[in-house]
Amino acid sequence: MGINSDGGDTASITPNIASGRISAQQESDNFADLHPLLTPFQASVEADRCYFCYDAPCMQACPTGIDVALFIRQISTGNTTGAAATILHENIMGGMCARVCPTETLCEQVCVRNDKEGEPVQIGRLQRYATDHLMASGKKVFERPDDSGKTVAVIGGGPAGLSCAHGLARRGHNVTILEAREKPGGLNEYGIATYKTVDNFAQREVDYILDIGGIEIQTGQRLGQDFTLDDVRAKYDAVFLAIGMGGVNALGLAGEDADGVEDAVDYIAELRQAEDRRQLKVGQRVLVIGGGMTAVDIAVQSKLLGAEEVTMVYRRGQQQMNASTYEQELAQTRGVNIRTWAAPQDLQMTDGKLTGMTFARTRLDNDGRLVVTKDTFSLPADVVFKAIGQKLVSEPLTGGASAVALEGGRISVDPERRTSLADVWAGGDCVVNGEDLTVAAVEDGKVAARSIDTFLQQGA
């Protein structure tokens, strides 16, 4: 029997999981665009706030090296198409990154306006203004050159894979993307909060990328199940691995496979693909274990779906959470509770159904190491979401002649994203030091495409 922090008996609670907790109007309001597109007047006013710094710290902070000062100046002079071209030449997924990139910890964090006025230039919203304008206009920035006759297999159709594929198509090579899911897009299609990317933007951006030509996508093709690395190495001149982190880390607790204990990543994917979000079942009381972006996304969306009480629980303090301060504040302003310094200990069950969870309070010792104390408390829950990170499914990479060197459970690559195999590259969060960010994955794909192109030319 567990006693919650308010003195209640979690074992006596009947799980309350149901659909239809919100009305159609609430659903429309709750999942509306988080940051609507700027109007031309708003974009002009915001662009005029930029100092166009000669040393452009915002450009240095951008993982893809977008010339921020240049594209903002182009917006300010009315050259919106030119601004979009400046962005897309460095980041072909500039439209999505404008929506989901943590600009508050990258380009906008280093904006000199932070020191002058306390409010940075809204670089992300200006980037979206330019790229949305271009996509709506139907204008092309890139034309595919003559066919090189070379072929490349890209395994994985997420941001890294799409970026690499486009970079190779720009150089005249023929690319086949082998994607395990029904749709390409990866994280952008299946893993991002719905209110951050509305109106099917992920697929519209994929269509724009494919419009260059020379890229074929085959869906329902999973590495290790439908084909092997040996297969594609024998068939194509080069290979790029963009397989992401397909496994989900476990809590390591008894009863983890019981009803009510869910993977946050899987539920977000289901939410993203749902035709009617109101039909998704949501708990009245929801616990989210983790402190990253995925934890925030599932916590906020559970609240938007009608959960009465949503609590994120993290084993360290808020300053150590992977989610940015902005994301934490977004969660809290949407009614999500954040409890820190607590480590999961036990899942509480009644007749095989989840009723709550017990936590141990934590602290740091004098050496800065996390200590789990014997002081415990319990919280009631109808649903517990695991959002404690993902891991690489490495089995298809470790056997046979095409075994790839791993380090720390991820693929080892050099600065050009080349693996231990001479004709295989890799990028995205599946590689050592890979980040769970669209913008970082795009950069990996871009760097790999340049390196693969050099390899293909030298082998001609």
With beta carbons less than 8 A apart as the criterion, state whether 364 and 370 touch. Answer: yes
How many domains are there within the chain? 3
Asked whether residue 255 falls in the same domain as residue 377, the answer is: yes
Beta strands in 365-441 (DSSP E): 370-380, 383-386, 390-391, 406-407, 410-411, 424-426
Mean pLDDT of 273-287: 94
State residue 6's pLDDT score.
45
Number of Cβ within 10 Å of residue 127's Cβ equals 29
Nearest Cα residue to 152 out of 198, 214, 209, 93: 214
Mean pLDDT of 242-254: 91
Asked whether residue 51 falls in the same domain as residue 130, the answer is: yes
78-114 residues labelled b (16+ CB within 10 A) or e (exposed): eebebbbbbbbbbbbbbbbbbbbbbbeebbbbbbbee
Residue 350 has pLDDT above 90, yes or no: no
Residue range 126-159, pLDDT digits in tens:
999 999 999 999 999 999 999 999 999 999 999 9
Mean pLDDT of 388-402: 89
Asked whether residue 240 falls in the same domain as residue 255, the answer is: no
- Domain for residue 83, yes or no? yes
Asked whether residue 338 falls in the same domain as residue 275, the answer is: yes
Residues in the chain: 460
Residue range 197-225, pLDDT digits in tens:
999 999 999 999 999 999 999 999 999 99
Residue 7 has pLDDT above 50, yes or no: no
The whole-angstrom distance between residue 375's C-alpha and the CA centroid of its chain comes to 35
Residue range 166-189, pLDDT digits in tens:
999 999 999 999 999 999 999 999
Residue range 318-347, pLDDT digits in tens:
999 999 999 999 999 999 999 999 999 999
> Structure pTM?
0.93
State residue 352's pLDDT score.
82
Question: Helix, strand, coil % (nearest 5) of the chain?
Answer: 35, 20, 40
Asked whether residue 380 falls in the same domain as residue 257, the answer is: yes
- Domain for residue 260, yes or no? yes
Residue 264 has pLDDT above 90, yes or no: yes
State residue 116's pLDDT score.
65
State residue 14's pLDDT score.
62
Asked whether residue 259 falls in the same domain as residue 377, the answer is: yes
How many Å apart are CA 50 and CA 122, to the nearest integer?
9
CA torsion through residues 15, 246, 166, 59, sign: positive
Residue 73 has pLDDT above 60, yes or no: yes
- Domain for residue 110, yes or no? yes
**Residue 11: band (very low, low, confident or very high) from pLDDT cuts 50, 70, 90:** very low
460/351: higher pLDDT: 351
- Domain for residue 142, yes or no? no
Which domain covers residue 264, as residue numbers? 10-30+248-389
State residue 42's pLDDT score.
97
Q: Which of 103, 137, 171 is the last residue of a domain?
A: 137
Q: Which of 351, 374, 389 is the last residue of a domain?
A: 389
Q: In sequence order, which residues have a C-beta less than 8 Å from that of residue 306 and are 6 or more positions away?
A: 21, 22, 26, 282
What is the average pLDDT score of the chain? 93
- Domain for residue 113, yes or no? yes
Asked whether residue 124 falls in the same domain as residue 195, the answer is: no
Residue with tokens 């009465």: 308
435/313: higher pLDDT: 313
- Domain for residue 1, yes or no? no
Residue range 112-128, pLDDT digits in tens:
998 766 799 999 999 99
- Domain for residue 281, yes or no? yes
- Domain for residue 3, yes or no? no
Q: Which of 112, 137, 162 is the last residue of a domain?
A: 137
Asked whether residue 56 falls in the same domain as residue 18, the answer is: no
Asked whether residue 412 falls in the same domain as residue 442, the answer is: yes
Looking at the chain, the whole-number percentage of residues with pLDDT higher than 90 is 88
Q: How far apart are the first and last CA of the chain?
A: 71
Residue 349 has pLDDT above 80, yes or no: yes
How many Å apart are CA 108 and CA 61, to the nearest integer?
9
Residue 245 has pLDDT above 70, yes or no: yes
Q: Which CATH number goes with the domain that contains 350?
A: 3.50.50.60
List the 261-263 sheet strands across, edge first: 261-263, 383-386, 285-289, 309-313, 337-339
361/9: higher pLDDT: 361
How many angstroms separate the Cα of 357 from the Cα of each of 256, 262, 275, 314, 392? Answer: 11, 14, 32, 13, 28
Asked whether residue 372 falls in the same domain as residue 444, the answer is: no
Rg (CA), the chain: 23
Asked whether residue 256 falls in the same domain as residue 235, the answer is: no
**95 phi, psi to nearest 5 deg:** -70, -45
State residue 283's pLDDT score.
94
- AA letter at 448: A
Asked whether residue 196 falls in the same domain as residue 329, the answer is: no
Q: Which CATH number goes with the domain that contains 75?
A: 1.10.1060.10
Residue 13 has pLDDT above 90, yes or no: no
**Both tokens assigned to 118:** 């306390």
